[in-house]
Amino acid sequence: MAVAIAALSFTSCDKNSNTDFDIPSYEEKFAEAHLKVNEVTADGYTVQLFADEELFVGYNRLYFLVKENATGELIKDFSVKVTPMMDMGMMMHTSPNEVPSNPDNDMMVIQQNMVFIMPSTAGTWNLEGELTLNEGDTPIAFDIPVSVVEKTDSRMLTFMSDADSVTKLFLILDEPLIPVVGENEIVFGIYKRESMMSFPAVEDYSIEFEPEMPTMGHGSPNNVNPTYMDNGLYTGVVNFTMTGYWRINVVLKDASRNVVKEGISFDVNF
């Protein structure tokens, strides 16, 4: 018996045995934590697009990795600039999007957040991008087709301003992504349409909200109206006292305290 155990131990430690495990690559670990949306090849490089979930109407976090096809290795210290474009046949338009950044100083990933303002049932979304490997290089153009869905609980509201009747606004609910009982960070975003190719963030509005449970006939205490942070995002606190169906009622006001919109709401179920 002792001989058998010794033999088993020796076999298990053999570096050539089948019990060895490969160390996951950076790309594999990133893919485990994110959803791979699509990838395209351009001029000897593969641009990979990842997201936290299936792309949807509302505020999305997108991540780009780039691989050199000849070596199969990921590229470091690159840059991308991406513009979302919707082709509706008779017309084309972009949507709100932020400046690309390196999340957590990660040189292998570029993050660019953007708001898709309609689902793919209305037309065709395409991400028109430029990849720059070294400063001063000629950018490499690439296009990534993507599909955008509408969530059951909508994460974006579109309306005309009641203050001037001409400004088209887009209000998004970002956080909480995974609500819990108790206090949650709540994040809204506000954008406006200046033209079909310009959807800037709105920085000087105020948001008042009140959560309620319509089926239970009560609200909740200890909510904090959001204040402006950056990139059109406003952050506050929402308190859910129990699980179930919640309605977040919103009043939007401009810098002069004129009501821009009221009687609008987001549904949250958890």
The model's confidence at residue 21, banded by pLDDT at 50, 70 and 90, is low
- Can you give the pTM of this predicted structure? 0.89
266 phi and psi angles, rounded to 5 deg: -115, 145
Task: Give the CATH fold of the 156-269 domain.
Answer: Immunoglobulin-like (2.60.40)
pLDDT tens for 107-153 read 899 999 999 999 999 999 999 999 999 988 999 999 999 999 999 99
Common-topology check for domains 26-146 and 156-269: yes
User: Can you give the residue ranges of every domain in the chain?
Assistant: 26-146, 156-269
| H/E element, 32 | helix 26-33
For residue 94, pLDDT beyond 60: yes
CATH architecture of 26-146: Sandwich (2.60)
| E strand residue ranges, the chain | 35-42, 45-51, 58-68, 79-87, 92-93, 110-116, 124-132, 140-146, 156-160, 168-173, 182-192, 206-213, 218-219, 224-230, 233-240, 245-253, 259-269
Closest to 180 in 3D by CA, of 61, 249, 268, 56: 268
